[in-house]
């Protein structure tokens, strides 16, 4: 936003310069010039070309260095530039400061080469509030950036595809291809893009590539080979902060493929990504490494490493304050060969193929690492469902939080532990998570739990049943006939003679004539 304000200030300031001008372009050709390209060709540095709302059927538009090109409202629903598959929509080369592209929907670009929607070469310009939709190219279908420190603010990259046969035939970067460049992208979204080989959403290449992604969304992008959401390769050193990767797919690295020795990811959510190896992140190629700090990985899936896969040739990735839970397929973290990431203050729990297994097995219980139900707010905080309950073992201040660790995961505490409605129940619950006149203490529990209830007329053939959240019975305690009065039953936290895992458990007390009540117990280990 600061960059946009600075450029707009420059554009407005230019109006006070005697030689500066603003040219109005209209879709019907009745403006100061008949086309956007004609207006740009006439403009000089400091000028502004303003496009009235409508659709412009133009292609191979060349931005003039130092000129501000804006839609009249500054919003992408005002102006559409449709290249009609006749070539590239827009290009900009060797531009200095003060060059702005703002408030356009750019579609229909089609080239057998680079940058179907936009090609930037040595052009550190600002692109703000633009939508790149359904552009096609061999690589960088929406945009290719080369040797440029461009800035993108609040832009959308939607349904672009790197699928046009060209001279190189490597089909990379469904939305964005960055070669030896260091752009900053903030508040951008990459949705439904695809590449036949590398980087369904974004492909980063080259040692001089140090892009930053801040508050960005990568969703439902697909790669045919590496990195459904992003492929960072050949020495690129990206920084990813406060982003979301959701529902991306690729054989190696559903969300991100890492083929570089330095990747920095922080406060980022990986949700429901899938792959053959590395459902969320795949560390591959020789020496590839990086760090994930304060991230949340939930519901990702892969045959090998549902959360993270570390190739045998990779370096030593570092995971800190990170949650890897509830993987739908594969281990939470899987390492090939002798490669071993370093984990500190991490929670790996509830993954279908295992948690602290293989080469990371010895790190459980060391350096603040735990395997515990994280207790996300979910429906109790629908705007931030993966925020934490205050009693979560991942939350600082919780009595179950490992000493010396800061917040685990991408999101802070977002709800307080109170007794919400029991699953399937209809009666009001007591503050300890029970209903129907039952009391549970302690709850949450680190071990045995006492369940108390009233039986005014006594009970025949009473029993206590414990279930996991999937509805599977894990323990049955036969209580027999009970005399009238208050009853207390102790569940020792065991199932089949072994302590149950951390998590939420449901219970029912029933008898020959019906049910006394039901409740839930949060077990923390």
Pairing type for strands 176-179 and 202-205 reads parallel
Residue 432 located in a structural domain: no
* 119-to-7, 157, 362, 465, 475 alpha-carbon distances in Å: 20, 14, 49, 64, 63
Cα distance between residue 16 and residue 24, in whole Å:
18
Mean pLDDT across 11-36: 80
Q: Kindly report the CATH number assigned to the domain that includes residue 463.
A: 2.60.40.4070
| Shared domain check, 235 and 283 | no
Structure tokens that stand for 493 in this block = 């936290």
CATH number of the domain encompassing residue 91: 2.160.20
Contacts of 132 (CB under 8 A, 6+ apart): 106, 107, 117, 118, 142, 143, 155, 156, 157, 158, 160, 175
Same domain flag for 274 and 184: no
Residue 452 in domain: yes
Which residues span the domain enclosing 160? Answer: 1-246
Residue 30 has pLDDT above 60, yes or no: yes
Across all residues in the chain, what is the average pLDDT? 89
The answer as to whether 424 is a domain residue is: no
Q: Assess whether 191 and 265 both reside in one domain.
A: no
Neighbours of 17 (CB within 10 A): 11
Residue 16, pLDDT above cutoff 60: no
Same domain, 79 and 99: yes
440 pLDDT more than 60: yes
What pLDDT band is residue 418 in, cutting at 50, 70 and 90? Answer: low
Residue 525 — pLDDT band, cuts 50, 70, 90? Answer: low
Q: Residue 318: which pLDDT band, with cuts at 50, 70 and 90?
A: very high
Residue 485 Rama label (left phi>0; alpha psi -120 to 50; beta): left
Q: Looking at the domain assignment, is residue 442 inside a domain? A: yes
* pLDDT greater at residue 517 or residue 251: 251
Taking the C-alpha atoms of residue 303 and residue 101, their distance in angstroms, rounded to an integer, is 43
pLDDT value, residue 11: 61
- Predicted pLDDT of residue 347: 95
* Listed residue (275, 339, 343) closest to 310, CA to CA: 339
What is the model's pLDDT at position 265? 98
Domain endpoint, select from 382, 417, 452: 417
The predicted model gives 180-188 an average pLDDT of 94
C-alpha closest to that of 524 among 500, 508, 494, 506 = 500
Provide the pLDDT for residue 120.
95
Q: Could you tell me if residue 120 is inside a domain?
A: yes
Last residue of one domain, picked from the residues 246, 265, 289? 246
The answer to whether residues 172 and 197 belong to one domain is yes
Note whether 502 and 355 are same-domain residues. Answer: no
- 390 and 331 co-located in one domain: yes
Across 41-64, b (16+ Cβ under 10 Å) vs e yields eebebbbbbbbbeeebebbebebb
Length of the chain (residues): 525
Highest-scoring range by mean pLDDT, 87-91, 416-420, 456-460: 87-91
The burial class, CB within 10 Å (0-12 / 13-18 / 19+), for 93 is middle
CA 418, CA 12: separation in Å to the nearest integer?
Answer: 54
Percent of the chain at pLDDT > 70 equals 93
Tell me the two tokens of residue 187. Answer: 């508040």
pLDDT, one tens digit per residue, over 240-277 is 999 999 999 999 999 999 998 889 999 999 999 999 99
* pLDDT of 1 strictly over 70: no
Do 171 and 129 share a structural domain? yes
Give mean pLDDT, residues 336-362.
91
Asked whether residue 72 is domain-assigned, the answer is: yes
pLDDT over 80 (residue 232): yes
Q: Check whether 223 has a pLDDT greater than 50.
A: yes
Which pLDDT belongs to residue 426? 30
* Number of domain units in the chain: 3
Q: Is residue 374 part of a domain?
A: yes
Average pLDDT over residues 169-182: 92
For residues 99 and 101, give the distance between their C-alpha atoms in angstroms, rounded to a whole number.
Answer: 7
Q: Which residues pair with 136 in a beta bridge?
A: 110, 161
CA–CA gap between residue 479 and residue 511 (Å, rounded): 9
pTM for the whole thing?
0.82
Q: Are residues 32 and 179 in the same domain?
A: yes
Q: Return d(Cα 479, Cα 355) in angstroms, integer.
A: 35
Share of the chain above pLDDT 90, in %: 66
Pairwise CA distance, residues 360 & 290, whole Å: 17
φ/ψ of 361, rounded to 5, equals -60, -40
Q: Is the pLDDT of residue 423 over 80?
A: no
Residue 310 and residue 444 in one domain:
no
444 preceded by cis ω (within 30°)?
yes
Query: Does any domain span residue 430?
Result: no
d(CA 481, CA 483): 7
**Residues 145 and 118 placed together within one structural domain of the fold:** yes
User: Across residues 402-409, what is the average pLDDT?
Assistant: 94
Q: Are residues 402 and 460 in the same domain?
A: no
Which of these three, 213, 246, 279, is where a domain ends? 246
C-alpha distances in Å from residue 343, one per residue of 126, 145, 291, 327: 38, 35, 10, 18
User: Over 80: is that where the pLDDT of 511 sits?
Assistant: yes
Cβ 244 vs Cβ 217: under 8 Å: yes
């Amino acid at each position: 936003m600061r960059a946009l304000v600075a450029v707009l200030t420059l554009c407005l300031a230019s109006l006070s310069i005697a030689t500066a001008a603003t040219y109005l372009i209209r879709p019907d050709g009745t403006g100061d010039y008949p086309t956007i390209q004609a207006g740009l060709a006439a403009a000089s540095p400091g000028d502004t070309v303003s496009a009235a709302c409508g659709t412009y059927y133009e292609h191979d538009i060349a931005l003039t260095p130092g000129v501000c090109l804006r839609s009249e409202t500054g919003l992408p629903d005002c102006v559409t530039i449709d290249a009609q598959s006749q070539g590239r929509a827009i290009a900009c080369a060797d531009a200095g400061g003060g060059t702005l592209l703002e408030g356009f929907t750019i579609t229909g670009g089609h080239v057998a080469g680079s940058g179907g929607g936009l090609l930037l070469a040595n052009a550190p310009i600002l692109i703000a509030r633009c939508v790149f939709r359904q552009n096609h190219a061999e690589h960088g279908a929406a945009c290719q950036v080369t040797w440029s420190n461009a800035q993108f603010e609040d832009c959308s990259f939607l349904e672009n595809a790197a699928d046009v046969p060209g001279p190189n035939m490597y089909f990379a970067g469904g939305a964005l291809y960055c070669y030896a460049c260091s752009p900053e992208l903030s508040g951008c979204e990459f949705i439904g893009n695809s590449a036949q080989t590398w980087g369904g959403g974004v492909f980063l290449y080259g040692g001089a590539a140090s892009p930053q992604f801040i508050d960005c969304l990568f969703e439902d992008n697909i790669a045919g080979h590496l990195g459904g959401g992003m492929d960072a390769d050949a020495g690129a050193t990206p920084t990813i902060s406060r982003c979301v990767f959701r529902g991306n797919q690729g054989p190696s690295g559903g969300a991100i493929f890492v083929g570089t020795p330095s990747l920095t990811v922080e406060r980022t959510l990986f949700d429901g990504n899938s792959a053959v190896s590395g459902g969320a992140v795949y560390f591959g190629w020789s020496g590839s490494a990086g760090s994930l700090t304060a991230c949340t990985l939930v519901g990702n899936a892969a045959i090998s490493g549902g959360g993270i896969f570390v190739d045998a040739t990779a370096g030593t990735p570092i995971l800190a304050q990170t949650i890897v839970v509830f993987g739908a397929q594969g281990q939470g973290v899987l390492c090939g060969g002798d490669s071993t990431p370093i984990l500190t203050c991490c929670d790996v729990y509830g993954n279908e193929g295992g948690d602290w297994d293989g080469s990371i097995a010895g790190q459980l219980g060391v350096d603040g690492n735990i395997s515990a139900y994280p207790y996300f707010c979910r429906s109790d905080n629908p705007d931030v469902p993966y925020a934490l309950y205050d009693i979560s073992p991942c939350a600082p201040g919780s009595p179950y939080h490992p000493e010396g660790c800061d917040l685990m995961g991408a999101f802070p505490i977002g709800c307080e532990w109170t007794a919400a409605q029991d699953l399937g129940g209809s009666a009001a619950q007591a503050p300890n998570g029970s209903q129907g006149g039952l009391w549970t203490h302690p709850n949450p529990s680190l071990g045995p739990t006492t369940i108390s209830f009233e039986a005014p007329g006594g009970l025949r053939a009473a029993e206590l049943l414990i279930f996991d959240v999937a509805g599977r019975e894990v323990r049955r305690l036969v209580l027999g006939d009970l005399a009238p009065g208050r009853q207390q039953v102790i569940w020792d936290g065991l199932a089949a003679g072994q302590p149950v895992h951390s998590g939420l458990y449901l219970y029912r007390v029933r008898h020959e004539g019906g049910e006394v009540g039901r409740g839930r117990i949060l077990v923390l280990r």
